[in-house]
Chain A
Amino acid sequence: MSDQRTSDAAFEQYVLPELEVMLRVARSLTRNAADAEDLVQDTLVRAYRAIDRFDGQYPRAWLLTIMRNTHINSARRRRPELLRDPDNAPEQAAEERTDDVIEQQIDGRILETLDGLDEPFRTIIELVDIDGLSYAEAADVLDVPVGTVMSRLHRARRRIRDQLVEAGFGGGRT
């Protein structure tokens, strides 16, 4: 029974501190609060069963890898979600372009462009810029090389940046 106790202690030590990160990433992967919670629960069950084989190195990367595989398996069993949140419609700005209004317009354009990005690009922005994952952690979630994370991120941000410049905001190299 001491083995069981050791496993339980390891689970609590390595897994519990990562719960919130897991939920954030799950929400980015599923885009649905209920599915995200289910995904974290399934990941927890798998992590619990595998905790004996975990070496204690990089628990977040280990858990995100389990989550990715769990997500892929559950996505195979489910039809893809086609609904997209229609919220965050940009507000109509007042005639007068005060600084605040301009700031709001910039924010609106950035978020609007994010929502319109194609799938791999939107997801990489969500994982790195919103969920706060490192390149290596995002690579684990997506099962791609770190170089792919960087190039997708670069292209996605470039798209947003170009939209800003086109709208007369922002600057830099042309």
Chain B
Amino acid sequence: MATGWFARLWQPATDRPMTCHQVGAVLQRYLDGEIDAVTATRIAAHLDVCRDCGMEAETYERIKSTLATRRTELPADAVARLRDFATSLSTGSA
């Protein structure tokens, strides 16, 4: 049974720990939930043990959460007007 670095060579790529470079390349997709579950788990494992990548991810999460505060409630009257308009199209009264 091989051990050490030789054993790691034979590990499937998806079992190997990700490097900082690999994580950096897909970090945005991870934060946006646009990545497959297996890779997401590997990224999360890396972020748990890598201080620099963890801080980087935290900074971007903070940016995303602040940007989300710009998401305001839509004006109810505008939504209602558009709903009436759309309904009138399908009932033939527009």
Contacts and interface: CB of A to CB of B under 8 A. Distances in A.
Q: Tell me the dominant secondary structure on chain A's binding face.
A: helix
B29 interface: yes
Given A23-B78, A44-B85, A173-B20, A161 B71 contact: no
A99 to B, nearest CB: 14
Nearest to B57: A172
Contacts of B68: 129-130
Interface in A20-40: 20, 22-24, 33, 36-37, 40
B85 to A, nearest CB: 6
A81 to B, nearest CB: 19
A35 to B, nearest CB: 12
Contacts of A16: 83, 86-87
Interface string A136-174: 000000000000001001100100110011000011110
Q: Tell me the dominant secondary structure on chain B's binding face.
A: helix
A45 interface: yes
Contacts of A12: 86-87, 90
Interface residues of A, number: 45
Interface of A: 7-8, 11-12, 15-16, 19-20, 22-24, 33, 36-37, 40-41, 44-45, 48, 106-107, 110-111, 114, 125-126, 128-132, 134-135, 150, 153-154, 157, 160-161, 164-165, 170-173
